[in-house]
Amino acid sequence: MYNSEGLPIKLSEEVHCALSEKRQVVALESTVITHGLPKPLNWEVLARLQQVISEEDCTAATIIVHRGVAHIGIDDSLKEELQNTDIPFNKLSLRDLPLAFARKDSGGTTVSATMGLAHRAGIEVFATGGIGGVHRFWQDSWDVSMDLIALSRMPVIVVSAGCKAILDVEATLEMLESFGVPVVGWQTDTFPLFYTPESNYHISRCDDLDLLAQSWKAHKILRDNGSGMLVANPIPKEYGIHSSQIEPFINQAIAEAKHVGIKGKELTPFLLDLLAQITKGESVKANIALLEHNARLASVLAKAL
Ligand code: PSU
Ligand code: MN
């Protein structure tokens, strides 16, 4: 069960074959399954994302930790086991992996843990919904997602619909700049805000896959394979929610979290869950649409590399 580095990382047969034959592989995170979406919708969405990736002739590598083993790629028997297990799923960032391995815990991997494991497995492209970042009121909480640190240290392209709208977007973009993480707007001049396709934050635009691939190659050399890139892919307009509509709900959710004392790693899932309730599922529909859209772009980008 241990890989050549002595880590409990297991590749599915399909992912193993694709990597050894140098075919394109796209990583997917699993916190969105374990903590982001309600059952059974979570597994349906995962199946849909995997289908989108295979429609583009790429192989999906969903990353999840089960009983202390990091699985890269979920095959049918593992999926069934995961769906029927009584073991609770933790939310695992990169720093949580060592203890989870040792204690044989299970958990969904966040963007940072997924990047770390994808990199160890030799996967360069990763699709997620929206990255974590600097939380609002960071001045008091110091709550900055490890996703940003992972982007600053691991050579993986992350395709996301910008960052989660619940964050302090300006501070998140500033940190990405300080860390030297290129933020590229795919066919957009502004940073998308998860549910909302546009914003007032200007970013560098790219409309051409080959240019994107070229810049990734240059970035890896310039940074000695030492940092990632964020490709910001706006949610399709027809599923987007205008920020004037969602912003009051976000403020309401943040106030509620403060009121009931939710913070730390529980904060992001709590806020997204509450938003799903307040918007009567509209935010969930948007979340699914943008996940699919990102899986599609990550796949075509993987082919262009
Ligand atoms: N999507 C959800 N809920 C989540 C996340 C995504 O619906 O909890 C995860 C992502 O995996 C992201 C993580 O990497 O939240 C960031 O968490 P934090 O802000 O605690 O670093
Ligand atoms: Mn945090």
Q: Which of 10, 164, 198, 292 is catalytic?
A: 164
The CATH class of 9-304 is alpha beta
Give the residue, by CA position, lying nearest to ligand 1 atom 17: 132
d(CA 231, CA 299): 13
pLDDT, tens only, 31-53: 999 999 988 999 999 999 999 99
Question: pLDDT for 182-198, tens place per residue?
Answer: 999 999 999 999 999 99
Model pLDDT, residue 46: 97
Counting ligands in written order, which one lies closest to the CA of residue 149?
1
Report the distance separating Cα 186 and Cα 232, nearest Å: 6
Sequence spans of domains, the chain:
9-304
How large is the average pLDDT for residues 124-133? Answer: 97
Cβ(58)–Cβ(25) below 8 Å: yes
129 lines ligand 1 (CB under 6 A): yes
Q: Which atom of ligand 1 is nearest to the CA of 36?
A: 7
* Residue 268 pLDDT level (bands cut at 50, 70, 90): very high
Q: What is the pTM of this model?
A: 0.96
- Taking the C-alpha atoms of residue 176 and residue 84, their distance in angstroms, rounded to an integer, is 39
**Percent of the residues in the chain that have a pLDDT greater than 90, as a whole number:** 97
Active site residue 5: no
* Mean pLDDT to the nearest integer, 139-163: 97
Mutation pick for ligand 1 pocket among 28, 29, 30, 31 (CB with most ligand atoms within 8 Å): 31
Task: Please write the tens of the pLDDT for every residue from 50-64.
Answer: 999 999 999 999 999
Statement: residue 181 has pLDDT above 90 = yes
164 as an active site residue: the answer is yes
pLDDT tens profile 68-93: 999 999 999 999 999 999 999 999 99
Q: Atom 6 in ligand 1: which residue has the minimum CA distance? A: 32
- Work out the pLDDT band at 1, boundaries 50, 70, 90: confident
**Is residue 102 a contact partner of residue 68, using CB atoms and an 8 Å limit?**
yes
Rounded Cα distance, 232 and 294, in Å: 9
Enclosing H/E stretch for 273 = helix 267-278
Q: What pLDDT was estimated at residue 142? A: 96
Q: Is 29 in the pocket of ligand 1 (CB under 6 A)?
A: yes
Q: What DSSP assignment string belongs to 78-110?
A: HHHHHHH--SPEEEE-GGGHHHHHHHT-EEEE-
